Structure 1
């Protein structure tokens, strides 16, 4: 037997029968800091011929083998009188952990953001040090030796679960050794604690109300002033957003493209304004919406359509250039809309204003925590922040952390804590438990519905018009050329029949110029349409959708495909010059290509592309029937999914005039503007021409 005593033994019981002795003990390893509860050592025979066994995990199976645990037990037993009772008594009562959460003190930097849990552990009517208990749990010890020669077993499922939850909470929240606190966003951690049988929680009113997040937010009726009928899932999304705003919590609305995220947010804003007007809430500051440049006008149009009673201020140029202060621009506004670029340039001025809330549309735009845009959004002082994005994570988990840290600060800890606790285990070790834990922590604050989950509520086909502002340089080029072509066409108006081809030539040139300045002039001006297309493709493909992109102009279609290639998306391309038409179509149908670029002439007939559930029209077509025919490549018999159609329209160009005229005179366009032959048969007035060129 080993003479090197590496363990200390605490006798619990001993029984003798003849030459046999059975000793039960607790053994502590002085070297490893490991506790083994209730080790049983049996000793039979004489000192010269002994048989010794030990039930410890490290004991060899052979009797009489060298075992330092058995050695420690026998040495300790030998020092005690035979008639002495157990040295240590085992506590059989289950401990109780009491939680009494209290907000962080007023006047501190974290006031209202955190709750001190004020843990108190009791057993047998006495209090046990929480710090000592957690230290023993964290070290993996199986018992906690108390001062009165009693010991508490720690290897129970309840205490192990408590250890895991507390360990996570302390990892995410830098707390003092003798205390524990939770961020107000760590709802699922709190719920997990309170559901343990050994925990008694004194839940204050805030925690009780916030528990609705995990139990299911009750749906509300749409607010007065909302000019839309919400589908059931949209009503739930609006109610969820309203709940977050009411409790000044942030969240991520991550619905699929085309499910009405903008409408749900506008409904929440309308309800807030209604409450302010009825004195239910005193705060009358406006909401700030930050969106990609290509989407700003869409927010303006959707607000005018769905919430016409809201006062909207669109900041589409820098305050310095406008010569007006921010407070003047947003005075009386319920809703302020600007772009990420403009917000980033004058972030300090936005930080000085008071806001009712912040909405980050396409929040993946600021997913880089080192970027200026991320820092500007993080430093903005707002009661609550909502991120709207169908793809909160595109490449790695750090992108998800970035978005969450803006909406729900403290939920996932610091960047370093998140990396160690979640990113490395999930990305490098495929740790399913870590992934499940991350999903559980996020679930109260992330609402995501896919087209498939709400398909029963959707119409077979949905359409959305995205009006895009031309870039500054592009606008100068377009306006200059518009003046020239307008003068040319008006000079040909006296004889429309003879000049039909020249008029069509000028109209076509303006249509191309509205798409991309480089199609007409030697210019490197950025194209708003290509920028918007890139954002749409990134989100749609990121969500697992298949996309059909259509245009009349093959030169622009080629540039559009290059945009997809730059994003690492594999695509198929079909125009009138394609020779291997069958192979190209098969590459999309088979799933090899996620995006299919098709020209009008090549794709107008004979194509059945029900694999696509998203259709993007890069330019408006003169003939509505031709547009519908192109859309029907995807939306036709055999399509089992809902089809989402996006029409990209360059604002304040011939495209927007075409859309307006097409709405009022669809029959005219059906007869006249689809081809040169139709142009020759045209019977349209000078007023129509003037409207196109206005």
Structure 2
């Protein structure tokens, strides 16, 4: 197993790959020896990780460290993100290379001895080969070298030279081989050991260590005296002048400088007493650059070298915290008990993380009475719910003491024998957890928090408890409910017949198991797979599991757009012929509903029928309800949405590839149905940061109940999808018409604003005028029938695309929002005798249109309205897609394109977007970027900005 080409990961880079929480869990896994097999075959790191009775097999592709690919059975890994199990492999590999769990920046004295001449160079962080580029090393010696040598700490700067280019050790590319001399190898091997397995830009050496470096150097080791000058000093002059300054001293440990902290940068200390080392137990480090002395009533900090890279930054910080420097002894002093205790409570973590101070024996003894106030958490089962209590307290300290201290600006409590610090990190974590659970960003800090939790709250709450890093034993039924939601690798097999399970793809079986787990715990969720991955089939798998289990609490209900009812009937007949289905749709097929009116297993109806027969459906109780393409009811105030929410069902699910289109309000509307009351609506008058806080909380809470997989992850066999924007320049007459409409619009809006028109009237007028401008861009004939189709610049470009595609044997889907435009194109196709199919909202038998197009290769084109063809269609007979006019929401366009790019497609799909340059369509693309980020924020569980199309945005589109 080669290791030289393995990336030199730091803790920060590992945390960026996943998260600090995942990195913390990964470290626990490595400590528990949970990593089994480990294989590194560039660029793939794979292995086995055991945990919670499961065996995970993560596989991490490190070809690109910017776009890292991960595969693992856990919930995080199944979404393609880097999980704790993958990070555990990285830590184990690093441990394998360095023979330690993490990289310490310095080694004990006995391991950093000056190497003997016959010691062969061993360099693990560089790839060394005779065929590589020549690598030289340059050291910058400090101007105060003689004084620094007497203090036993000489700060040198180090850089690598490849040809004429200079690189800091951190930025040198480690993926290719380098050629070095034997003496350089001995020096680099020695420096790598004292730096803990890597190289740093700034190193602090003992005199004997620098002496070894100078005596061993050859022509590839260069020196420069005085940091800041590029002029090099000949090696003989360095030996003649510098060596006499270096006294003979016993070999000693290198003292790390800024780049070398004893604790890997970015790894935070725990805020709980079980992992926090008390001040009284700290080891005295007299050689540290920073030395801290004092007591609970005063602090003194000595910064030994003004030339140290951190000196100015540290001095400015101490000054801002109230420290004053005394010229007589060069120490920084803070003389006030209140200020001292507040400084230790609020800044000790920053002090230790950034400056690695050494504490005097006096300080350790006199501060032994200082202890942190611990954060505790306990849970209690209460019927079907749980209660959670968090508080900050210690022996002899009550919660009210904590509250009173904070109210008076004190982060400490002085007791009879001990002093308790209310530390910043613990306080921030307590506030973050309590405010998230309480749903109030301004909840006052009282030192105690209690809440009752529903089943839906458990997964989110467990994540918050994990962030607190507390040792707490959650009830078994709590862990059982939330475990499979947080990690799909823990899901149980759904009760499907073997012949059905074998027909399902692996990711589809996971989707069925996920929904079955939620159903058994009377929860609901959103299956948000990308279009074309078979959400309908997975929902049918849930229905079959319900049937096999035999828990009859009423029939099941499926609500879908009327245009998809035929598709549901077809799929049910193929996958679940044993289910009896009642279609409640159409005047001739609807009967009066009551408790006993649906003897069948499944009732299938449309949103419009549900709305019309709402009173009848309210008489019935259902085991589970499934809403397909539920973005149709994202407006919670609509009659369809209210009718859907009124359904009585033990468990509710939503199928949609676009759970959010305009803003997070869409998501809240969907959760009002699938998990009523889970996302509590924020006050309507919230603005700015308060609104953003609630939005972020709801995204985090919603994430465990949204299962989203992309084609690239679960269906890699699908061919590539190529997307291309084609810019079209308006024809002269078309441009004149566009400018006339725009100028008239501006005049109308100015007149309306002057007359005091309301925001709603202005918005309606703007949207109307935007529609007219977009029509001019697509086809001037939509606005003025005197314009022929050939007068549109887009049509001319489209004709060229069409001719080239047909000549190349390609088949095309043409999407437009304007039905009138599609009809004009249809007339042109008929005149040119080009075979086509046509589909818009008035088409009754959509499946027949799809079947004819897929089966008859003589039909080259299918004309489709964007809204009618965005869902429920399989058109894999096409391999080219043309969006005649762009729409502001990229998710809608992606759905349309995915009519062709879906399971069953075996050709590369090319998608063309026709956009007129310098018009409203140009600005629509910028708006699409915002919508795309909003959708990504939801599906990637990250913070987001609301992207609702407001009045300002509309004005910018019209300008």
TM range (shorter): 0.5 to 0.7
Aligned equivalents of 1:351, 1:391: Cα separation in 2: 28
Aligned equivalents of 1:376, 1:640: Cα separation in 2: 30
Per the alignment, do residues 236 and 135 of structure 1 end up closer, same or farther by CA in structure 2, a change over 3 Å counting? Answer: farther
Residue 711 of structure 2 aligns to a residue whose secondary structure is coil
Match runs of 1:467-616 below 5 Å:
578=790, 582-584=796-798, 595=815, 599=826
Aligned equivalents of 1:56, 1:340: Cα separation in 2: 67
Residue 416 of structure 1 aligns to a residue whose secondary structure is coil
Aligned equivalents of 1:179, 1:221: Cα separation in 2: 36
1:366 maps to what in 2?
633
Per the alignment, do residues 571 and 349 of structure 1 end up closer, same or farther by CA in structure 2, a change over 3 Å counting? Answer: farther
Aligned equivalents of 1:146, 1:122: Cα separation in 2: 14
Alignment partner for residue 582 of structure 2, among 288, 313, 316?
313
Query: Which ranges in structure 2 are unaligned for 5 or more consecutive residues?
Result: 1-292, 303-316, 328-333, 340-364, 722-767, 782-787, 805-812, 817-821, 837-845, 862-874, 882-896, 905-959
Alignment partner for residue 616 of structure 2, among 349, 354, 365?
349
Residue 456 of structure 2 aligns to a residue whose secondary structure is coil
Matched, 1:115 2:416: no
Residue 290 of structure 1 aligns to a residue whose secondary structure is strand
Aligned equivalents of 1:284, 1:567: Cα separation in 2: 54
Report the TM-score, using the length of structure 1 for normalisation. 0.53
Q: Is the 8 A contact 1:24 1:41 kept in 2?
A: no
1:263 maps to what in 2?
537
1:493 maps to what in 2?
none
Alignment partner for residue 597 of structure 2, among 310, 318, 329?
329
Q: CA deviation at 1:135?
A: 8.5
Match runs of 1:255-294 below 5 Å:
255-276=529-550, 281=551, 283-294=552-563
1:162 maps to what in 2?
430
2:526 maps to what in 1?
252
Aligned equivalents of 1:444, 1:144: Cα separation in 2: 38
Matched, 1:302 2:571: yes
Aligned equivalents of 1:619, 1:269: Cα separation in 2: 27
Q: CA deviation at 1:205?
A: 1.6
Aligned equivalents of 2:653, 2:626: Cα separation in 1: 5
Q: Provide Cα deviations, 1:330-366, integer angstroms capped at 9, x if missing partner.
A: 12x2111112222223334323322101111111111
Residue 117 of structure 1 aligns to a residue whose secondary structure is strand
Q: Is the 8 A contact 2:854 2:877 kept in 1?
A: no
Q: Provide Cα deviations, 1:406-444, integer angstroms capped at 9, x if missing partner.
A: 2233443324399679883289xxxxxx75x65543331
1:672 maps to what in 2?
none
2:456 maps to what in 1?
185
Structure with more relative contact order (C-alpha pairs < 8 Å, separation 6 or more) = 1
Per the alignment, do residues 451 and 133 of structure 1 end up closer, same or farther by CA in structure 2, a change over 3 Å counting? Answer: farther
Report the TM-score, using the length of structure 2 for normalisation. 0.40
Q: Is the 8 A contact 1:225 1:309 kept in 2?
A: no
Residue 211 of structure 1 aligns to a residue whose secondary structure is helix
Residue 330 of structure 1 aligns to a residue whose secondary structure is coil
Q: CA deviation at 1:285?
A: 1.2
Q: CA deviation at 1:161?
A: 2.1
Residue 595 of structure 2 aligns to a residue whose secondary structure is helix
Matched, 1:398 2:642: no
Aligned equivalents of 2:620, 2:543: Cα separation in 1: 18
Q: Provide Cα deviations, 1:591-648, integer angstroms capped at 9, x if missing partner.
A: xx99366655669599xxxxxxxx99957659943456447884289x99963499xx
How many residue pairs align between the two structures? 455
Q: Is the 8 A contact 1:290 1:360 kept in 2?
A: yes
2:479 maps to what in 1?
207
Q: Is the 8 A contact 1:226 1:306 kept in 2?
A: no
Match runs of 1:224-243 below 5 Å:
224=497, 229-243=503-517
Residue 371 of structure 2 aligns to a residue whose secondary structure is coil
Q: CA deviation at 1:309?
A: 0.5
Which moved further from structure 2: 365-374 or 222-231?
Answer: 222-231
Aligned equivalents of 1:185, 1:63: Cα separation in 2: 59
RMSD of Structure 2 on Structure 1 (CA): 5.4
Alignment partner for residue 377 of structure 2, among 98, 106, 130?
98
1:542 maps to what in 2?
none
Q: CA deviation at 1:398?
A: 0.9
Per the alignment, do residues 375 and 415 of structure 1 end up closer, same or farther by CA in structure 2, a change over 3 Å counting? Answer: farther
Matched, 1:451 2:711: yes
Q: Is the 8 A contact 2:296 2:366 kept in 1?
A: no
Aligned equivalents of 1:148, 1:567: Cα separation in 2: 78
Q: CA deviation at 1:567?
A: 14
Q: CA deviation at 1:445?
A: 0.7
Match runs of 1:29-40 below 5 Å:
none
